[in-house]
């Protein structure tokens, strides 16, 4: 892999940017990083990487992106937290063009390995009606009843990967990500997910002296959150494995939104008055990752403690917040 060209799509985003950084650390000398955003808006960028701005919804751009590539990590998608995906269903579903055209282009370019980042949003809604969710198993995606918009796109794209493997022999691997979080990602503006949003709200409350926080829903809904380094390790393990079907990649440490706020308050050393917004986007009642299969296959599962990951995330968002208050953004460039 170190001498072959690796393509990372969505490379200006959160997970893709971290993947590029990790590949560089491993000594990978040929990396093409592709994103639709202008380079100045990428969360991380690297001067020794081929950075390309392309709209991958267009097939010819996908062919340009994968030219001469050996491996492809496809993280590109129009997505965000619950507030974004509930209000942008059509935009989320149009991401199906990205994976479809990337598969066609990868087949044409004779790409040796192709990874697709799916999501826990593919799981059937009737399996997520209880806050005490014991964990979603891989087979719980069917009969199909995924998250409207974003979840349907991910489930359809999984099937596309499967049939490109079965019909055309393209090496495809898939993981269902469960709420990935960490530094160098969205933390404001509407696309941020719960961990980052809560960090920002706590920082705002602490610095402003207005010790209040607004929480979407009633705070009882439950989720598990996977730290970015676990996501990177699991993704590369799955890419190099013989596992052809989608597999859970997520922490099994499930917490309520209220407890997530408790954790961030503890990091910040503050206690806030909570108000609840029942009209805000909330998602399913309970979602957790059943890691039985990934433990059986790899003798491993994501294990970074939520408190540890949130401390790192809070510290990075705090620095970003303060940089913005001083009138300048802080973007990682190496």
Residues of the chain with CATH 3.90.25.10: 194-223+254-289+305-328
Task: Answer yes or no: is pLDDT of 332 > 70.
Answer: no
Is 150 one of the annotated active-site residues of the chain? Answer: yes
Count of CB atoms situated within 10 Å of the CB of 247: 21
Task: Answer yes or no: is pLDDT of 330 > 70.
Answer: no
User: Dihedral sign, CA of 26, 20, 180, 152?
Assistant: negative
Task: Answer yes or no: is pLDDT of 292 > 60.
Answer: yes
Residues of the chain with CATH 3.40.50.720: 6-181+226-249
Q: Which residue has the higher pLDDT, 333 or 261?
A: 261
List, for residues 100-147, the tens digit of each pLDDT value. 999 999 999 999 999 999 999 999 999 999 999 999 999 999 999 999
- At 271, is the secondary structure helix, strand, or coil? coil
pLDDT, the chain, mean: 96
Task: Answer yes or no: is pLDDT of 334 > 70.
Answer: no
List, for residues 168-216, the tens digit of each pLDDT value. 999 999 999 999 999 999 999 999 999 999 999 999 999 999 999 999 9
pTM for the full predicted model: 0.96
Q: Which CATH architecture has domain 194-223+254-289+305-328?
A: Alpha-Beta Complex (3.90)
Count of CB atoms situated within 10 Å of the CB of 277: 12
Average pLDDT (301-330) is 93
Count of CB atoms situated within 10 Å of the CB of 224: 24
What pLDDT does residue 155 have?
A: 98
Determine which one of 114, 150, 181, 321 is catalytic: 150
Q: Which CATH architecture has domain 6-181+226-249?
A: 3-Layer(aba) Sandwich (3.40)
The encoded tokens of residue 259 equal: 């407890």
């Amino acid at each position: 892999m170190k001498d072959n060209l690796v393509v990372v799509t969505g490379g200006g985003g959160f997970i893709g940017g971290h993947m590029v950084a990790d590949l560089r650390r491993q000594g990978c000398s040929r990396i093409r990083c592709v994103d639709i955003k202008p380079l100045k808006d990428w969360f991380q960028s690297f001067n020794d990487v081929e950075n390309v701005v392309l709209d991958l919804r267009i097939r010819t751009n996908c062919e340009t992106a994968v030219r001469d590539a050996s491996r492809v990590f496809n993280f590109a998608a129009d997505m965000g937290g619950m507030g974004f995906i509930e209000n942008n269903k059509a935009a989320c579903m149009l991401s199906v063009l990205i994976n479809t055209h990337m598969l066609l282009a990868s087949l044409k370019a004779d790409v040796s390995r192709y990874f697709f980042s799916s999501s826990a949003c593919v799981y059937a809604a009737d399996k997520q009606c209880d806050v005490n969710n014991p964990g979603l198993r891989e087979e719980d995606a069917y009969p199909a009843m995924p998250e409207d918009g974003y979840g349907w796109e991910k489930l359809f794209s999984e099937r596309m990967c499967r049939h490109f493997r079965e019909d055309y022999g393209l090496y495809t691997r898939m993981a269902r990500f469960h709420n990935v979080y960490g530094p160098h990602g969205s933390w404001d503006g509407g696309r941020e997910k719960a961990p980052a949003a809560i960090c920002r709200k706590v920082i705002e409350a602490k610095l402003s002296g207005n010790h209040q926080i607004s929480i979407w829903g009633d705070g009882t809904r439950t989720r598990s959150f996977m730290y970015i380094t676990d996501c990177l390790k699991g993704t590369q393990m799955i890419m190099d494995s013989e596992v052809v079907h989608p597999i859970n990649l997520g922490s099994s440490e499930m917490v309520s939104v209220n407890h997530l706020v408790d954790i961030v308050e503890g990091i910040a050393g503050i206690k806030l008055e909570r108000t609840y917004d029942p009209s805000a986007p909330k998602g399913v009642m309970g979602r957790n990752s059943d890691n039985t299969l990934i433990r059986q296959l790899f003798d491993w599962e994501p294990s970074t403690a939520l408190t540890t990951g949130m401390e790192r995330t809070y510290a990075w968002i705090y620095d970003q917040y303060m940089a913005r208050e001083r009138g300048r953004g802080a973007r990682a460039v190496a």
